[in-house]
A and B are shown apart, each in its own frame.
Chain A
């Protein structure tokens, strides 16, 4: 059983091509589309968050299954571990936001004479913003690294203590993540529309993170199986990933609707001001997001066979990932670029560049360790996995 993934030259080159294409498109965008720092920073934020969320989900997936005593995931736990390896890079890039603050966060401007923003200044100010950011990243990176290290040490020893330590780390990660996932979404996303507020917002962003993470893991399984790895992943594992994608797409819709319904129903101008530009200026996008994130995966993954068919499931995962990217896009742009925002060379270029870089980092990390954490006491359950 070949347990090690080799990051082949061919794959590396294709990733360079994707990244290179991104740079090319960005150049085209610079030449053909009006060069605009706001557009640059908006796209930077969207993509950095999109891939950061997927990396974070690497930690969430491991931690959740560990604390739920789940056995079936152990055969694929190296994938989320590798996803989390992108976190340090996302962190460094995120700090570059310092130079783009003014283009994105209205509240960071000086001398606004805005009584509402003055009331929030104790929380929304530039130094505290970066201090919080540093704390989030420090703890996320620290804990995901410990989880990874623990998992690699387990490969060398059959001692049960690594299993127990893994559980402890997982619990710590989940506790910190439960709080930081809300605060990070207030900081980085909700504060773009600085006057507006919604208590559900943090959980809504979290569920988006969850769905895109699941979709990414499905695509990784699909890719590795196509390359001939992961022969121990059977139809049942695929079925469960399919159920996740199906169920959490519905859950995403549930939270989306909860927020929308309550704001629509109460009809308070301060609150509807958030949905009005999204619904009126970006009508097509607004409904496309609902179709991609809910209607298609809901209808497409309803039957049992569709969840067990890896090719079809991968297609649905791509649909959902596009949907989640667009969702993030629509969370950000009305508060920054506004009405005139379009998807052009700059947007696609950014996605390509990030995609290439992200995959390069994750594949490198994946190649560093065996694909199977062979000493996990629950691994045997994952092999004999049936309904």
Chain B
């Protein structure tokens, strides 16, 4: 396969196959450093704080949250949507970029998919906690029961249950199927008998037989084909939680594609935040290059601009509609008591990514890191703005109200951040962060050209 010389190499440093294996599996074989222990101490403390607050919520009831009759959804659902959104980059990278043959995905798909799984886990916690009695959470599934009832198939909240659980299961499957060959590599590499047995079990007996590879490739393509519309469907269905209602600011038809775009936007921001650190700490700079960061930044600017267009479309159509409630909802968003949240959202999501039009900034790691955090914050505020500002001015002015989170809600949110980063820290110690086999397939064509590697060429 020919690759034009004007393209930037995807892997720098003229590697051999063995080097690739060794360098990527180094964190699994080696001992964890001080930084890792420091990191996991912080994330575990956050997680325990969150667990305590969750326990308190369940013990005391939802009254410990800042919700009231007018604003029945606050931080909980904001966090839910935010986390689900972050969980969109991984499957987008491995499914849609695979179908579009973007080879740079091979260095980042594994860790991005792991983030997807962890983010969806964090997201799933919120509806569960908000039920008040999480032990009865299984009520959301349609199972034959003594009450003779079925769940409400007309409810977008139920669609959510199916969408999120399907998304989690299929993402997990896709991730694990891709991971099997690499687990095989690790199994054959580790020395300790105990580790060998564990990885041997997890590798499902993988040998690298050409017949298996052939089927594996077919399966990966079809899984990508299935996962691609799945990615679109999940956040579309999440958006319909709001958009099927008749609340001004929620009921707008652009929501499904606009939520998906925002999700990919925020997902890539989180991937950048984590990978810029990971590549440095794990010495993977020659696999996750500045070129990769630039490519991700391009996706950020594309999806960020789509989100910007959607914001402006909503504003314009609210005016154009001539419906006074619509017009008020958007005016209130921008100039009402929550104007600051709106301003943060606009600045972080629409204005700041425009700086990425400059190539210098796209390739600047420090700038990208800071920007990615801005976007994470901005996307959180987007959901907050949509949810709270649309609710707090009810149709009946006597029910107008304000919402403030309590320490319990903040604690639970911090707890999910703790869960997410703890999982990620464990992941980098246990599984290869980069898809070893996939990187090897692109090495010859897209790696830095080797002086005397292929003796037959």
Contacts and interface: CB of A to CB of B under 8 A. Distances in A.
A259 B251 CA distance: 11
**Residue of A67, A71, A195, A386 contacting most chain B CB atoms (<10 Å):** A71
B253 A378 contact: no
B309 A199 contact: no
A261 B228 CA distance: 21
B147 interface: no
A266 B251 CA distance: 8
Given A199-B253, A258-B256, A377-B6, A266 B246 contact: yes
Nearest to B233: A254
Interface in B84-138: 99-100, 102
A17 interface: no
B321 to A, nearest CB: 5
Interface stretch (A1-9, A115-123, A217-225): A115-123
Interface string A218-248: 0000000000000000000000000100010
Contact of A262 (B3, B7, B255, B321): B255
B279 to A, nearest CB: 22
Contacts of B257: 200, 203, 254-255, 258
Contact of A268 (B4, B246, B320): B246
Nearest to B357: A171
B212 to A, nearest CB: 19
B2 A262 contact: no
Interface in B212-257: 228-229, 232, 236, 240, 243-246, 251-257
Contact of A197 (B2, B243, B298, B320): B320
A160 interface: yes
A198 interface: yes
A199 B252 contact: yes
Given A250-B229, A266-B245, A378 B1 contact: no
A199 B99 contact: no
B313 A243 contact: no
A378 B320 contact: no
Interface residues of A, number: 46
Contacts of A378: 4, 6
Contacts of B314: 199
Interface string A175-203: 10011001000100000000101111111
B289 interface: no
B322 interface: yes
B245 to A, nearest CB: 7
A259 B320 CA distance: 18
A200 B6 CA distance: 39
Contacts of B5: 377
Interface residues of B, number: 38
A182 B313 CA distance: 8
A199 B313 contact: yes
A163 interface: yes
B317 A386 contact: no
A120 B4 contact: no
Contacts of A262: 240, 243-244, 251-253, 255-256
B305 interface: yes
B2 A384 contact: yes
Contacts of B253: 198-201, 258-259, 262-263
A282 B358 CA distance: 51
A178 B244 contact: no
Nearest to A123: B320
B224 to A, nearest CB: 12
Contacts of B323: 270
A343 B392 CA distance: 51
A250 B99 CA distance: 15
A182 B306 CA distance: 12
B3 A258 contact: no
A137 to B, nearest CB: 21
Nearest to A181: B309
B2 A182 contact: no
A69 B244 contact: no
Contact of A119 (B240, B245, B322): B322
Interface string B434-454: 000000000000000000000
Interface string A99-124: 00000000000000001100110010
Contacts of B244: 261-262, 265-266
Given A116-B322, A254-B232, A266-B244, A383 B2 contact: yes
B298 to A, nearest CB: 8
A33 interface: no
A281 interface: no
Nearest to A200: B253
A155 interface: no
A120 B6 contact: no
A380 B2 CA distance: 7
A200 B7 contact: no
B4 A377 contact: yes
Given A200-B257, A261-B240, A265-B240, 18 more contacts: A116-B322, A120-B320, A163-B6, A178-B306, A179-B309, A186-B320, A197-B317, A199-B254, A199-B310, A203-B257, A247-B228, A254-B256, A255-B256, A258-B236, A262-B256, A266-B244, A266-B251, A377-B4
Interface of B: 1-7, 99-100, 102, 228-229, 232, 236, 240, 243-246, 251-257, 298, 305-306, 309-310, 313-314, 317, 320-323
